[in-house]
Structure 1
Amino acid sequence: MKVSVDISMYPLKEEYCQPIIDFIEAMEKAEKVSIQRNSMSTHIYGEFADVMSAMNSEIEKVLNEIPQTVFVIKLIGTDREKANIRAC
């Protein structure tokens, strides 16, 4: 099953920019997932197992280094790039 994830990372420390950049760059190296950056969040696309495996691995690394990090994750069970979603 294809999924789309919108993820934001908030390291609760003064030097917060580099950990975010490091996380995104690590996610970009993950196999079988597609990453799109923007100024508010990062979008991850791919097969459910591939996306969740990549996120699990990288989120665990971050939380081991900076336990005071908040992740906000939204997940939809379709390839949002190709989804035709109409407003209510």
Structure 2
Amino acid sequence: MKINNASVLFALILLTVGSYFFSEESGASGNLAFLILFVLLKVLLVVIYFMELKVAHLAWLAVLSLMLIVYAGFVFSLN
């Protein structure tokens, strides 16, 4: 099954709405893990589908994964 841009955009919108419900502004607290997960998924979707990294060399996906792991670790260490 081929994923088109409209379904990726719909997933990004759902992740954005979902991140609001896990934020502190909606009254939820202590859900940093879900927010970071949503951020990482959104970055992966944008980079892979809209920046066409899915057709790039595998090394770029490895670099992206490493950067996202470092980012998530840094944010968790601040909390």
TM-score normalized with structure 1 length: 0.40
- The structure with the largest strand share of the pair is 1
Q: Which one has a bigger Cα radius of gyration?
A: 2
- The structure with the largest helix share of the pair is 2
Higher normalized contact order (CA 8 Å, seq sep 6+, divided by chain length): 1
